[in-house]
Homo-oligomer: A and B are copies of this chain.
Amino acid sequence: MIIQIKPQLPETQRSRIVGRVKLLGYHSTPVRTQHGEYLICIGKAEIDIRQIGSLPGVADVHRVSDQFKLVSGKWKLGYSAVSLGEGVTIGGDEIALMAGPCSIESEEQVERIADHLQKHQIKIMRGGVFKPRSSPYAFRGLGLDGMKFFYEACRKRGIRIVTEVMQASQIEELYPYVDLFQVGARNTQNFNLLDALGKCAKPVLLKRGISGTIEELLYSAEYVFSAGNEAIVLCERGIRTFETAYRNTFDVNAIQVLKDKTHLPVIADPSHGVGIRDYVAGIALAAVAAGADGVIYEVHPSPEEALSDGQQTLNFQESAALINKIRHLKSVL
């Protein structure tokens, strides 16, 4: 059960609601976000929710049968959209496109890619400066130094930035430069990081775990929301299966399931979702046809020279073709 609390409620009235809920056999968790205040009530009692709805200070009350609550589509009419500022939004009628290199490598690389995005009216650039790598001897990113010129290149072009944050202690240093904090597939269940991002005033892009279930992804989103941050974008990026003909199995079913179960925007990462350059465009189109609200993919001036993920990265020509195809498809669906 989710209870929406009226704004600026006096503490005594709030306590009265909490007390009443407790009396009815529910354990309640208070949640205050940038958009409102909620009580999440967990319990097994069968109650008439009008008993709660009529209490002073209650704006609305919703029965939610899912185990996850605030991110469930069962209580919110319509879909949420997430604003990155400057009129850039994920969710809604327009398809949100995000592109950029796997790793930020140099000023020149960033400038060239930002030019490419600007030319094609892509409003969000991706790029990693803290890179989770399986091997400790692999390139781990340029860190804050890279972040700074990445920021400059985007700021002057009006492009918003999404980049991966690997632990709570990095949030503060990245904060001035980032418009959308990405939680990578290895950190989907890094609950301390999720809690910290929930207390942060910027939106979060939450990737599905490498073999994470859809339910786990929604629970992880619930962590962020219940810690205070409603601005969450979910991302399907392929799961680990027995198939070895490609890198990951893009789970197009998940797009449908997520759009059905949650009000949050859902985007697709076809680059990781299939992991082979020639197939990225096809998977991107499939995701859009299945209802994705956006697509995030990797692009690089010379993919074969990229410091990471080159085999799944598009060059500018392929990227331009993909942008046109996606926009065309979205316009006719």
Closest B residue to A245 using CB positions = B214
A34-53 CB mask vs B (1 if < 8 Å, else 0) is 00000010100000000000
In the complex, the answer to whether B189 meets A166 with C-beta atoms within 8 Å is no
How far does the Cβ of A47 sit from chain B's closest Cβ, in whole Å?
18
In the complex, the answer to whether A215 meets B290 with C-beta atoms within 8 Å is no
Q: Which of B190, B210, B240, B250 contacts A187 (CB 8 A)?
A: B190
- Tell me, yes or no, whether A32 is within 8 Å of chain B by CB: no
Q: A135-B219, A192-B167, A286-B289 are in contact. Are A241 and B252 (CB under 8 A)?
A: no
Contacts of A239 in B (CB 8 A): 241-243, 249
- Tell me, yes or no, whether A274 is within 8 Å of chain B by CB: yes
With the chains together, A189 CA to B164 CA distance in Å? 15
- Tell me, yes or no, whether A175 is within 8 Å of chain B by CB: no
Closest B residue to A41 using CB positions = B137
- Tell me, yes or no, whether A144 is within 8 Å of chain B by CB: no
In the complex, the answer to whether B274 meets A256 with C-beta atoms within 8 Å is yes
With the chains together, A127 CA to B250 CA distance in Å? 30
With the chains together, A194 CA to B221 CA distance in Å? 25
In the complex, the answer to whether B245 meets A242 with C-beta atoms within 8 Å is no
- Tell me, yes or no, whether A203 is within 8 Å of chain B by CB: no
- Tell me, yes or no, whether A257 is within 8 Å of chain B by CB: yes
Contacts of A193 in B (CB 8 A): 167
A240-282 CB mask vs B (1 if < 8 Å, else 0) is 1111111001111111110010000000000001100011001
Contacts of A222 in B (CB 8 A): 135-136
In the complex, the answer to whether A243 meets B213 with C-beta atoms within 8 Å is yes
How far does the Cβ of A264 sit from chain B's closest Cβ, in whole Å?
15
Which stretch from A11-19, A90-98, A104-112, A325-333 is at the chain B interface? A325-333
Closest B residue to A212 using CB positions = B210
With the chains together, A289 CA to B213 CA distance in Å? 25
In the complex, the answer to whether A242 meets B213 with C-beta atoms within 8 Å is yes
With the chains together, A186 CA to B220 CA distance in Å? 12
In the complex, the answer to whether A42 meets B137 with C-beta atoms within 8 Å is yes
- Tell me, yes or no, whether A291 is within 8 Å of chain B by CB: yes
In the complex, the answer to whether B189 meets A132 with C-beta atoms within 8 Å is yes
- Tell me, yes or no, whether A177 is within 8 Å of chain B by CB: no
Contacts of A279 in B (CB 8 A): 253, 256-257, 260
Contacts of A245 in B (CB 8 A): 213-215, 253-254, 257
- Tell me, yes or no, whether A133 is within 8 Å of chain B by CB: yes
In the complex, the answer to whether A227 meets B136 with C-beta atoms within 8 Å is yes
- Tell me, yes or no, whether A211 is within 8 Å of chain B by CB: yes
Which of A116-153 touch B at CB < 8 Å? 132-137, 140
In the complex, the answer to whether B134 meets A189 with C-beta atoms within 8 Å is yes
- Tell me, yes or no, whether A9 is within 8 Å of chain B by CB: no
- Tell me, yes or no, whether A61 is within 8 Å of chain B by CB: no
In the complex, the answer to whether A291 meets B282 with C-beta atoms within 8 Å is yes
- Tell me, yes or no, whether A285 is within 8 Å of chain B by CB: yes
Contacts of A329 in B (CB 8 A): 289, 332-333
With the chains together, A210 CA to B282 CA distance in Å? 23
In the complex, the answer to whether B40 meets A137 with C-beta atoms within 8 Å is yes
Contacts of A290 in B (CB 8 A): 282-283, 285-286
